[in-house]
Amino acid sequence: MANRHVLKLLAAVGVMLLPLGAVVATAPGASAAVTVPLRANAGGSALTDAAGDQWVADKAYSSGDWGYQTSYGSGSTGGAIAGTADDSLYQNYNTFNGWGGYRFDVPNGTYQVTLKMVEDWANAAGQRKFDVRVEGVNALTAFDIFASCGALTACDRTFPATVSDGALNVEFNMNGGANYATVSAISVTGGGGGGDTTPPSVPGNLRSTATSPTSVSLAWNA
């Protein structure tokens, strides 16, 4: 009789474990494979820039990885790019609309996203304007590369991003003018730990070295 009760108990525990296992398997970020820093040459091939940083070739998104989603096309220019020693990094680009863009499956945490852009089509302000969202937060509104940086000139913008769902999304949408949003390269680097949420260890030999009516001076071992 006792054994029968034990078997029933084990069976009940087994039933309880199945849904717990399913939750773990589908937890946000569980399949994340992307590590930072990651530097993507949008619309282009792998290259090494003047600072020695490696930029990887562009690609479409696949689950657990990174890449572009719903690109509206790509383009290139052979013109020299002002304001940079890395012309080839800006000379290729992807275009987007309808909140298409890039997805990076990264661990939860905080990051810095840098967009590298160039205007090779417009010859006056107002001809191309677009919005950018980084992880659902408006980063640029009606941004005009020509008005901000000029034609064939490196135009970089950097934004913070906090990821809590295992995916960093960078999205673009037209907002005026007559051409799609454009981006030549995207880098994702760590900011505030680059996704590391492990707290520091407790300091050793924490002690007060001086006090006043409004402050306390502390010291501790490294």
pLDDT per residue of the chain (222 residues) written in tens, 0 to 9: 444 443 343 333 333 332 322 222 233 444 557 999 999 999 999 999 999 999 999 999 999 999 999 999 999 999 999 999 999 999 999 999 999 999 999 999 999 999 999 999 999 999 999 999 999 999 999 999 999 999 999 999 999 999 999 999 999 999 999 999 999 999 999 954 444 444 556 777 888 878 877 677 777 776
Alpha-carbon distance 5 to 7, whole Å?
Answer: 5
* Tokens at 94, concatenated: 């992807």
Report which secondary-structure segment, H or E, holds 148: helix 145-149
Report which secondary-structure segment, H or E, holds 24: helix 2-25
- Contacts of residue 176, defined as CB under 8 A and 6 or more positions apart, other chains included, come to 126, 128, 129, 130, 142, 144
| Cβ–Cβ under 8 Å, residues 116 and 43 | no
Distance, C-alpha 11 to centroid of its chain: 44
- Residue 119: the pLDDT is 98
- Residue 200: the pLDDT is 57
Whole-structure pTM value: 0.73
- Residue 197: the pLDDT is 45
Instruction: Give residue limits of the domains in the chain.
Output: 38-190
Task: Count the neighbouring beta carbons within 10 Å of the beta carbon of residue 155.
Answer: 21
Dihedral in degrees, nearest 10, Cα atoms 147, 68, 131, 173: 110
* Superfamily designation of domain 38-190: Galactose-binding lectin (2.60.120.430)
> Would you call 183 exposed, middle or buried from its count of C-beta atoms within 10 A (0-12, 13-18, 19+)?
buried
* Tokens at 123, concatenated: 């010859």
* Residue 186 vs residues 10, 126, 148, 163: alpha-carbon distances, Å: 52, 24, 18, 17
